[in-house]
Amino acid sequence: MTDDNPVMIAVAPNGARKTRQDHPKLPITPRELAAVAASCLDAGACMLHLHVRDAALRHSLNADAYIEASNAIRRKLGSELIIQITTEAVGCYQPAEQMQVVRDVKPEAVSLAIREICPAATDETTAAEFFSWLQRERIAPQYILYSVEDIQYFSKLRQRGIIPQQNPAVLLVLGRYTQNQQSEAEDLKPLLLELGNENCWWLCAFGANEAECMLAAAAAGGHCRVGFENNMQLADGSIASTNETLVRLLVSKLQAAGLEIATPAQAREFMNVR
């Protein structure tokens, strides 16, 4: 990592499953999300990974809810921070519904779990047209990969032209399927070995070792996503007070290691975000 390629930091402040019983400061409403976006931008984040809820506080892919939350963030911050919506299925949304919310919202960035948006043996023609549409609309995709097998499948889709981007961004995930959802930095090595050097890659990690895993990612040329969606713990096992706390902790550790933090403007250029 050099000054010409600073570390991008995203914050994922709420996720699809957690509630205020998990943390009293979990942001849910548009106003709360805007406030967290502002504090995390100030702390050093360049992108916010956005989840929205329905009236019963369940995970939702409702386009109007996404637009309302995005507008609240824009009213507070202007256009500086990158807003990335999710298409996470959470066991209740099919690929067609995931694709449709992106078409309806037309966000600047979107995360796509490759095993959900284009499951094996699915209609690859539909997926290929959707991925090409993202490229035409200059919507920046980030493909989520949980395992070596996911990476292998993703590579096959690229080789066959289903995924058209020349340098697609991916998010590697540590700890989602490990015991007690605890990550170890060592778990990153087999994923990077399989991924190779052709992708812009990010990392998120479950559990109290989040910051350690982020340092390993940055040292290997990757970028970082932290926040309550994946982790609320500090290294000593205590609970972080806010999402901002996790961002500031990571920034301080990266800077202590001599690494530069990317501004939103730098991130937009690097990720080709409109």
Q: Are 129 and 95 in contact (CB under 8 A)?
A: no
> Residue 47 above 80 pLDDT?
yes
- Percent residues over pLDDT 90 in the chain: 90
> Residue 132 above 60 pLDDT?
yes
Number of Cβ within 10 Å of residue 238's Cβ equals 10
Q: Are 142 and 163 in contact (CB under 8 A)?
A: no
> Residue 3 above 70 pLDDT?
no
Q: Are 240 and 233 in contact (CB under 8 A)?
A: yes
What mean pLDDT comes out for the span 7-14? 98
Name all domains of the chain by residue range, CATH numbers in brackets. 9-269 (3.20.20.70)
Residue 166 has what pLDDT?
84
Tens digits of residue pLDDT in 94-111: 999 999 999 999 999 999
Confidence grade of residue 130 (pLDDT, cut at 50, 70, 90):
very high
> Residue 139 above 70 pLDDT?
yes
Cβ burial of 181 (10 Å; 0-12, 13-18, 19+) is: middle
Two structure tokens written together for 83: 């807003």
What mean pLDDT comes out for the span 132-151? 96
Residue 1 has what pLDDT?
41
Residue 69 has what pLDDT?
98
Helices (H), the chain: 30-43, 63-77, 95-105, 114-117, 124-137, 148-159, 188-195, 210-219, 243-256, 264-271
| Chain mean position to CA 227 | 10
Closest listed residue to residue 51, CA positions, set 79, 96, 93, 80? 93
What mean pLDDT comes out for the span 34-59? 97
What mean pLDDT comes out for the span 61-71? 98
Rounded alpha-carbon distances, angstroms, from residue 265 to 35, 40, 148, 180, 217: 20, 15, 32, 37, 22
What one-character-per-residue DSSP string does 10-66 give?
EE--STTT--TTT-TT---SHHHHHHHHHHHHHHT-SEEEE-EE-TTS-EE--HHHH
The pTM (predicted TM-score) of the whole model is 0.95
Average pLDDT over all residues of the chain = 94
Residue 2 has what pLDDT?
42
